[in-house]
Homo-oligomer: A and B are copies of this chain.
Amino acid sequence: MFGLRFFVDPRSALPIYQQLVNQIKAAAAGGLYPPGQQLPSVRELAGQLAINPNTVAKAFRILEEQGVIERRRGLGTFIAQKPAVAKDLTSLRIKLQELLVEAYHLGVGPQELRQMFETALNNWNKGKEEQRGKGN
């Protein structure tokens, strides 16, 4: 539909399947992949990225376990309908802590960090609105 959207860096310390997981989750969160959107097939994605199909399959399996995507036999893979349930927020709190710790060690103070946070939040909302606009 829109050609290559993902890319992987084989030299990264992060496993390729993890890079894929992160990117697909980010694409969904950013509004590029709205709920119900069909994803490329394992083979197609593997071909585009020039990586092993097993690696793509592993990423899809993890995303399915996390409830991000749904696989329908014979049809393909789709972005899941967002479950409105607020599950366990532990992972979110951990990421928040990690953010603060990283900021400390880079010499970024509370004020500067708050500003970065608000900027990121605004950009995020803006991106989602633009995607919505596209659909009209």
Q: CB distance A116 to B93 under 8 Å?
A: yes
Q: CB distance B106 to A91 under 8 Å?
A: yes
> A91 and B97 in contact (CB under 8 A), knowing A11-B70, A107-B82?
no
- Which B residues are in CB contact (< 8 Å) with A72? 10-11
A82 CB, min distance to chain B CBs, angstroms: 7
Q: CB distance A84 to B100 under 8 Å?
A: no
- Which B residues are in CB contact (< 8 Å) with A103? 92
- Which B residues are in CB contact (< 8 Å) with A67? 105
A29 in the interface (beta carbon within 8 A): yes
The one of B68, B70, B102, B116 that contacts A105, using a Cβ cutoff of 8 Å: B68
A2 in the interface (beta carbon within 8 A): no
Q: CB distance A15 to B110 under 8 Å?
A: no
Give the residues from 69 to 96 in chain A that come closer than 8 angstroms, CB to CB, to chain B: 70, 72-73, 75, 82-89, 91-93, 95-96
Q: What residues make up the interface of A, taking CB atoms closer than 8 Å to B?
A: 10-11, 15, 22, 25-26, 28-30, 65-68, 70, 72-73, 75, 82-89, 91-93, 95-108, 110, 113-114, 116-117, 120-121, 124-125
